[in-house]
Amino acid sequence: MKVVLTIAGSDSSGGAGIQADLKTFEAFGVFGASAITVLTAQNTLGVQKIHPLPASFVAEQIRSVTADFDVAAVKIGMLHSTPIIETVAAFVETLDIPVVLDPVCVSKAGSNLLEDDALSSLRELSRMATLTTPNLHEAYRLFGYLSGESDSLDALIAHPSPVLIKNHVVGNLSADLLYFGRSKRIFTDDLIPSTDLHGTGCSYASAIAASLALGNSLEESIVRAKRFITEAIRRAPHIGHGPGPINHKAGAPHAS
């Protein structure tokens, strides 16, 4: 069984963060390990409290996992601060396996999840990743990207690794745009009208990482992950009083 490591924050409500990552890994048939960066008190209404862990302890978790397991891919989520980002970057520099970075900045409920002075460090980490998966807001903060404006593509064209920008809407389709240099590919699936989107970014990046660990190409991994997310949204459990979580079990590749 392939092992995938998630380096991310903990979501006490179970819909996002490492909890969503581990559910996604299970759905894809890979074994999930985790290194927790921050603890959060949160639910579908927002993030009430963030408790960062010391960067040295994040590094210790990573060392413990990698000393015992042959990790096939890494997914990176909420890092929160510059010291944690730099610690993770030092680890990523040593790797020759797929690394998928979800550059978490703001939660679905609008809570800020990245310290203001950490953006440049996060941007540098994205240069080391196999794939970075920002939403439209994160793509603007990291790369100055504005949907539909060709003169906002300079930073993306110069970026040394692929970037998948999520959450475009084209008619009745959900569209994600993969940029790598001057190449662009569009990935589409049904647009599901729903407010139950808590943890979709975490789960999408985790699904891509899991698929890469299983030996699929980057583009095939994106296709599989997008299909997974679409079905997980379609059959969301409708719980909570804010943007609810998705149904990871329903989105599983083997689900009926």
- Within a domain: residue 184? no
pLDDT of the residue at 188: 96
* Structural domain range at position 38: 3-144+194-251
What pLDDT tens digit does each residue of the chain (256 aa) get? 999 999 999 999 999 999 999 999 999 999 999 999 999 999 999 899 999 999 999 999 999 999 999 999 999 999 999 999 999 999 999 999 999 999 988 766 566 788 888 889 999 999 999 999 999 999 999 999 988 788 789 999 999 999 999 989 999 999 999 999 999 999 999 999 999 999 999 999 999 999 999 999 999 999 999 999 999 999 999 999 999 999 999 878 864 3
- Within a domain: residue 21? yes
Cα separation, 66 vs 71, whole angstroms:
7
Cα separation, 188 vs 180, whole angstroms:
18
- Token pair belonging to 171: 């008619």
Q: What share of the chain is helix, strand, coil (3-state, %, to 5)?
A: 40, 25, 35
Cα separation, 27 vs 108, whole angstroms:
23
Count the Cβ atoms, other than its own, within 10 Å of residue 254.
Answer: 7
Task: Give, in order, the Cα–Cα distances in Å from 84 to each of 65, 128, 133, 189, 202.
Answer: 17, 15, 19, 35, 18
- Within a domain: residue 24? yes
Sign, Cα dihedral of 47, 119, 91, 134? positive
pLDDT of the residue at 110: 63
- Within a domain: residue 18? yes
If residue 250 lies in a helix (H) or strand (E), which one and from where to where? helix 248-251
- The CATH number assigned to the domain holding 109 equals 3.40.1190.20
- Within a domain: residue 33? yes
Q: Are 83 and 55 in contact (CB under 8 A)?
A: yes
| Predicted TM-score (pTM) of this structure | 0.95
pLDDT of the residue at 236: 96
Crossing angle, helix 200-213 and helix 218-234, to 10 degrees?
140
Cα separation, 6 vs 25, whole angstroms:
10
Crossing angle, helix 17-27 and helix 200-213, to 10 degrees?
40
Residues shown for the chain:
256
- Within a domain: residue 157? no
Domain count, the chain: 1
pLDDT of the residue at 104: 87
Vertex 73: Cα angle to 70 and 78 (nearest 5): 120
Cα separation, 56 vs 48, whole angstroms:
25
pLDDT of the residue at 255: 46
What region, left, alpha or beta, does residue 217 occupy, with left being phi > 0 and alpha being psi -120 to 50 degrees?
Answer: beta
